[in-house]
Amino acid sequence: MSQYRFIHLRTILRFTGIVTLILAGLMLIPTIYAFLEDERNEAAFAFSAISAFALGITLFLAGEKNNDGMNKRDGFITIVFTWITISICGGLPFVLSGATDNFGDAVFESIAGFATNGLSILNFERIPYSVLLWRGIIEWVGGIGIIIFIMSFIPFFKTPQAKIFFFDRSDETIGNIKTTVSGTARRLISIYTGFTLLLFIILFTQGMQIKEALLYTLSTMSTSGFSPLNGNVSALSSGALSTIAVFMFLAGSNLYLIYFAIKLHFNKILKNDEFKWYFLSILVPLIALFTQYSFTQGVVGNGKLAGETLFNIISIITTTGFYIAQDIPFLSSFWWLVFFLLMFLGSAAASSGGGINVFRQAILLRSARRYFLSILHPKAIYKVRFNKVDLDENNVSRVMGFLLIFLLVYVLGILMLTIGGHGFQDSLAMSVAFLSNTGNAVRLLINDLNMADIHWYDKFTFALMMLFGRLHIIPLLLVLSPIFWKK
């Protein structure tokens, strides 16, 4: 056992216990709603809350405070262990309320919620609103990141060691807010919550019912795209669609840059490389699609189609997954290919979106440019720059390593889906939809996707891909690696 002393197990248990206790507190919201609305399933939520509280207090008491903080191994174990724990606890309300037929389905739905994936196996025709509300709550918490959410409240995160939980962030991508890690987390939470309240108010004033407005608000800000219509928002008013599109763009943006905007430091935004790439990742596909459409159809302008396409592009880039129904195969295979490729890209760092993210895209292309320049000028030294900062080789290699592993996991997903009997083209689309957590937008590429009838093997594959995607692949792979456990 001596080789494992470098892991502060009791500190990990204490932290996970705190997270579970907070999750138990959140369960009280649908409990109270179900009681007030006489839905007759408040007991299911109450028992779930009590069970989560009992587990949380047990883990908390079994743990201990470590004044020395956590090391990197502690951080990665905490991330994985916390996600497994909340996924199990978060599934209790689904199975106890009868929304799912078994506990396995309930855990799948919980993972999808926390991973902000709008694809769901729930039967919307027979479940009460309190269950939908719980799904919305866990995806909202998952959107900002459960770890970052907890950072706002725990004093430990005032220490420098807490930066291990920002393993996928860097000053080159987000800028530098000079405060403690917990202070940074509180700023992110404040912005995220503020936009959530603002979006809810706007949707309500535009004529949505309170319940509907709340669900669309939680799904938009978390970039989950969950809705009782399986992500199809074609029936919403043009005003609501425009509002949702704007807030999807904001939710997929770097929250640090929004912080600078609130501080009226617009110059930092306009000069930020990530924001430029993020904006171009939406504009360039739109221009490409309509250039092809005009060339093949002989139609120069189509305002309705342009609006629908822009909405879908924003939704896919931000990995939200809402979509306006378009007959993509009818338009052309080129449109199918563009929407498919967009599912890989993802949004900005420090956002609620998933995917590869803008920073890594930029580093990939700039590294390719450096490679070609080095061939032309072998004796010259070229650096990869981002936001006018020369990145060291360690940062660049980490990006390249992540992209390679992302591709390998994606291919593994295709292999597992084809083994399960899915067609090759459908497997291509579904693998990236679950790995990037784009969710319901994959229905633009697959016409007959019925989540209610999927096999247990598919549920396992989808859940694994969602976990890999939401945890940015690296923590889960590290914890599963034998090398990780060697001192």
- How confident is the model at residue 167, as a pLDDT? 47
Instruction: Answer yes or no: are the C-beta atoms of 45 and 34 closer than 8 Å.
Output: yes
- How many angstroms separate the CA atoms of 357 and 418, rounded? 27
CA distances to 7, 316, 322 from 440, in Å? 39, 9, 6
- How many angstroms separate the CA atoms of 300 and 73, rounded? 57
Encode 122-145: b = buried (16+ Cβ within 10 Å), e = exposed: beeeebbbbbbbbbbbbbbbbbbb
* DSSP at 385: E
User: Does 449 fall in a domain?
Assistant: yes
- How many angstroms separate the CA atoms of 410 and 442, rounded? 15
User: What is the SS3 string spanning 17-50?
Assistant: HHHHHHHHHHCHHHHHHHHHCCCCCHHHHHHHHH
- How many angstroms separate the CA atoms of 256 and 191, rounded? 9
- How confident is the model at residue 266, as a pLDDT? 83
Instruction: Answer yes or no: are the C-beta atoms of 446 and 431 closer than 8 Å.
Output: no
Of the listed ranges 30-39, 146-155, 289-298, 308-317, the one predicted with least confidence: 146-155
Residue 374, beta-bridge partner list? none
Cα atoms in the Cβ-side hemisphere of radius 13 Å centred on 317: 31
User: Does 326 fall in a domain?
Assistant: no
- Per-residue pLDDT tens over the stretch 432-476: 999 999 989 999 888 778 888 888 999 999 999 998 888 878 778
- Give kind and range of the element (H or E) at residue 69: none
Q: How many domains does the chain have?
A: 1
User: Does 18 fall in a domain?
Assistant: no
- How many angstroms separate the CA atoms of 187 and 169, rounded? 16
User: Does 296 fall in a domain?
Assistant: no
- Give kind and range of the element (H or E) at residue 389: strand 389-390
Residue 3 has pLDDT above 50, yes or no: no
Range of the domain at 478: 384-485
* DSSP at 406: H
Amino acid at 359: F
User: Does 135 fall in a domain?
Assistant: no
User: Does 346 fall in a domain?
Assistant: no
- How confident is the model at residue 12, as a pLDDT? 86
User: Does 174 fall in a domain?
Assistant: no
- Per-residue pLDDT tens over the stretch 249-271: 999 998 888 888 888 888 888 88
- How many angstroms separate the CA atoms of 290 and 153, rounded? 48
Residue 169 has pLDDT above 60, yes or no: no
User: Does 77 fall in a domain?
Assistant: no
- How confident is the model at residue 189, as a pLDDT? 84
Q: How many residues does the chain have?
A: 487
- How confident is the model at residue 220, as a pLDDT? 95
Cβ neighbours for 137, distance < 8 A, ≥ 6 positions apart: 26, 29, 30, 218
